Amino acid sequence: MSPARFNRSVGRGPMESKLRQLDNSTDRLRSWTAPNPLFSRCAFLKGVEGMVHSIDQQNYKFEGTWGELLGEVDERPTTSLAKFLQAKSNSPDYAEALEATMAESVDTVLRAQYDLSERERPRPHHVVKALSIRQRADLILWIQQAFSTLGLDESMVHGVALNIDRLVATYGGEEQLPQGCLQVILLAVVCTEFKTDGFSDHPDKEWKQILLHMTRGQVPMLQILRVERDILGRLRYVVGLPTPLTFLRSLTAHLCHEEQAGYWISLATFILELAMLEPEVQHGFPHAFLAAGALAASLRVLDAPERTRQELLDDVMIWPAEESSEELLVRCEEELLQLWIRCKDGLVEYHHVFRLLEAKFRYQSKFEVSHLSPAGALKVLREEREPEDFRDLALLRFGIAGSLRQCDPVA
């Protein structure tokens, strides 16, 4: 189970009453999927059987030391999270003192999570070709509503969405996902998420109960498990990956003592959920920087102290980037603010989903997200960047003029 996934709850009240609330959501899902989800094998899974291989556990081994596999531990904490944990080393509380022991290794874990996320990040244009943006948004909305009804953690929604995108991206954008398979694919991916998230440890195997209720008993559990096996083979059995929300929680764990931290984190989560609806934004940037960009946008919109923004900038330096980490962070922030503005102006195909997310955020945060101004924050961001842009342009002009003078025989 991922160490960044925490604070889970199956919800309060009897499970039966929560399952009954899923009926309307299930009807909506079935209205735009295959009328008869019972089938022996999806067309898109044809030929996948050969991709599933057994593992010889007796002969499976690796060579090398743990230090070579995990990398050398940096004994000098650099991120805010590492410093936050290190500060608990002298705490009289046993639990806090135990958490402090992770201070020396947390930076290494964050780098490893970043590397893993980058290796498995799907290409956005492959996702769009296999699944339309509108249909994908409706699918994510249904997952959010169903999991919210059950009181499940939002990290599971992000995990399901990521695995669906990784699955459809495996087709290389050469074909679309058959509509008749969409429901059982979703159930199979949800099944995997329940297992990798530790949900299968709950009493009475509640995840099976939830899956059967989602299908209204029309899709046998054996069929879901078979499709799940084929999907896992297509994903090379790589699941349980860190999501943008995983990185956001790592970046904000040290803010627990800040008075306004709840608002900052809540708005950043809202912005990440907007990004999840737009594959070009969701997978167009490294997921770690996407999370940092969402937090940076939230801090700017809510006028957070400058020191908090500086801490964020220092934290992202731990992750390697092909360009300047600061420039990549600013580009992510700008793109997310622009997406928010497009959603507010109704310039996206999933405007109805955006309105529902606004209502959800208003309920969680106790203030109107519609009253916030992403346009004002974007204007300030661009004004901050303009002096550097003008300076670069002036240097470029000076260099061109100098080159021309050198080439001019009269000079």
d(CA 255, CA 291): 15
What's the pLDDT score for residue 18? 61
- Share above pLDDT 90 across residues of the chain, in percent, rounded to a whole number: 47
Average pLDDT along the chain = 79
- In 10 A of CB 377, how many CB atoms? 23
Contact, 196 vs 239, CB < 8 A? yes
Which range has highest mean pLDDT (88-92, 100-104, 280-284)? 280-284
Q: What percent of the chain has pLDDT over 70?
A: 70
Looking up tokens 């070009």, which residue turns up? 280
Confidence (pLDDT) at 209: 80
pLDDT (0 to 100) of residue 61:
46
What 3-state DSSP class applies to 272? helix
Rounded Cα distance, 398 and 403, in Å? 9
Average the pLDDT over 221-229 and give the result.
Answer: 92
- Averaged pLDDT for residues 131-135: 88
Whether 143 is covered by a domain: the verdict is: no
31-35, 239-243, 299-303: range with lowest mean pLDDT: 31-35
pLDDT at position 181: 80
Whether residue 290 is found in the same domain as residue 403: no
Domain, as residue range, for 366? 244-375
Same domain flag for 269 and 303:
yes
Write down the pLDDT at residue 298: 96
248 and 346 inside one domain: yes
Higher pLDDT among residues 347 and 398, named by residue: 347
Instruction: Write out the DSSP string of 67-115.
Output: HHHH----SS--SHHHHHHHTTTT-SSHHHHHHHTTTTTHHHHHHHHHH
CA-wise closest residue to 269 among 7, 15, 82: 7
Residue in the structure block whose two tokens are 């058959």? 178
**319 Cβ contact partners less than 8 Å away, ≥ 6 residues apart:** 110, 111, 114, 286, 288, 289, 325
Same domain? 381 vs 369: no
CATH code of residue 274 = 1.10.472.10
- Token representation of residue 287: 């997921």
Nearest to 22 by CA among 211, 187, 198, 253: 211
pLDDT grade for 123, boundaries at 50, 70 and 90:
very high
Q: What is the pLDDT of residues 314-344, one digit of tens each?
A: 999 999 888 889 999 999 999 999 999 999 9
Torsion of CA 242, 243, 248, 254, to 10 degrees: -20
Q: Answer whether residue 55 is part of any domain.
A: no
Would you state the pLDDT for residue 398? 46
Regarding whether 370 and 251 lie in a shared domain, the answer is yes
pLDDT at 179: 59
Residue 348: strand, helix, or coil: coil
- Asked if the structure places residue 313 within a domain, the reply is yes
Higher pLDDT among residues 116 and 399, named by residue: 116
Instruction: Return the pLDDT at 314.
Output: 94
Q: Is residue 17 part of a domain?
A: no
- Are residues 366 and 249 located together in one domain of the fold? yes
Arithmetic mean of pLDDT, 67-77? 51
Asked if 182 contacts 33 with a C-beta cutoff of 8 angstroms, the reply is yes
- Per-residue pLDDT band for 21 (boundaries 50, 70, 90) equals low
Radius of gyration of the chain (CA): 24
Q: What's the average model confidence in pLDDT over 57-84?
A: 59
Asked whether residue 393 is domain-assigned, the answer is: yes
In a domain, 59, yes or no: no
Tell me: the pLDDT tens digits for 168-222? 998 766 665 665 688 889 999 999 998 887 665 555 567 788 888 777 778 888 9
318 and 339 in a single domain? The answer is: yes
| Residue 192: other Cβ atoms inside 10 A | 20
Q: Are residues 404 and 365 in the same domain?
A: no
Give the confidence band of 129 by pLDDT, cuts at 50, 70, 90. confident
Inside any domain, residue 61? no
Residues 349, 272 within the same domain:
yes
Our count of domains for the chain comes to 2
Lowest mean pLDDT among 79-93, 233-247, 262-276, 381-395: 381-395
Distance CA 306, CA 312 (A): 10
Q: With bands split at pLDDT 50, 70 and 90, how would you rate the model's confidence at 165?
A: very high
Stretch 9-33: mean pLDDT? 53
Q: Note whether 386 and 295 are same-domain residues.
A: no
Residues 397 and 371 reside in one and the same domain: no
Of 49-63, 167-181, 262-276, 347-361, the one with minimum mean pLDDT is 49-63
pTM equals: 0.77
CA dist list (Å): 89 to 101, 145, 148, 317: 7, 41, 37, 25
Highest mean pLDDT among 3-12, 134-143, 168-177, 242-251: 242-251
353 and 401 in a single domain? The answer is no
Residue written as token pair 């793109």:
335
